[in-house]
Amino acid sequence: MSALYCVFGNPVAHSRSPDIHHAFAKQKEEDLCYEKREAPLADFVGALQAFRADGGLGANVTVPFKEQAFGQCDAVTERANQAGAVNTLWWDGDQLNGDNTDGAGLVKDICDNLAWQIQGKRVLVLGAGGAVRGVMGPLLAEKPTLVRIANRTAEKAEILARQFMDGSNSPVLGSGLEGLSGQFDVVINAISAGLHGEMPALPDGLLADGAVAYDMVYGKEPTPFMRWAEAQGAAAVSDGLGMLVEQAAEAFEIWRGWRPDTAPVMAMLR
Ligand code: ATR
């Protein structure tokens, strides 16, 4: 029988995760079946139990279940604990374990694949939702000079900044989008309206000379954020496809015990 994994989400039909994990498995001819499972909004726990009863070994979790999944775990990693959310689950006997590989995926794509630097750089993060909470820990571990979180609802950015300021070597500041000022070397977009919607209005001049811009979402076309950053003179821009593949590789390694090669899988998806 194939080793069974899945991604839980709602909706989940659009997910590329099965393609990614099947491509990883093929690198060592492993027999792996990775499904999309749309959990009912009101019954994630039931869907999780049904999956385990079907012989499921591990799962990814996407919107809107990452926080609920966290709550179901018997043990979580430190980075998942910081995020208050998990995107990767696996069982050890009856024990359900959780990790959050999103931040590691983001940092790996930015620092290794794109060869951009975070260390010693001024970082601006747009948005203060679950996606930001999920990546702040690994981002701060790269030792940026500072991280400013700017969000439509200023209070959410302030709360998040305070949470991550504790124990961080870099200053973490939170504020609204209105009146945002300063210059930044790395701008990361995690505003969920980013893919289809418009970019919120931002002042000119936020990008320092040589600044780079990363959108955590991906699409066939450059996102509104990527177009905005280019118009603002960004030296380089990227969407989040690499983050998707790298967070998957991190999960795959937890489950299967070896690290797949991500470059050919990224090329296949493009
Ligand atoms: P995610 O898991 O993608 O982070 P989320 O937790 O719902 O999803 O967070 C969505 C983020 O996108 C929030 O930062 C939200 O801003 P608010 O906290 O003010 O709601 C931001 N966002 C969504 N639509 C937006 C828009 N039209 N303009 C500005 N920010 C927007």
* Residue 153 CB–ligand 1 contact under 6 Å: yes
* C-alpha R_g of the chain: 18
Residue in the structure block whose two tokens are 């996407």: 62
The answer to whether the 3-100 and 103-242 domains have the same CATH topology is yes
Does residue 147 carry a pLDDT above 90? yes
* Residues 154, 6: Cα–Cα separation, whole Å: 36
pLDDT tens readout for residues 233-265: 999 999 999 999 999 999 999 999 999 999 999
Edge-to-edge order in the sheet of strand 75-76: 32-38, 3-9, 58-61, 88-92, 95-99, 75-76
Nearest to 251 by CA among 240, 239, 241, 262: 262
Domain residue extents for the chain:
3-100, 103-242
Domain 3-100 carries which CATH code? 3.40.50.10860
What average pLDDT score do residues 186-214 get? 89
Structure tokens given for 36: 């999309």
Distance 193 CA to ligand 1 centre (A): 7
* Residue 193 CB–ligand 1 contact under 6 Å: yes
Structure tokens given for 100: 């959050």
26, 36, 66, 143: the catalytic one is 66
CB–CB of 140/123 below 8 Å? no
Does residue 166 carry a pLDDT above 70? yes
CATH 2.60.40.10 fits 103-242, yes or no: no
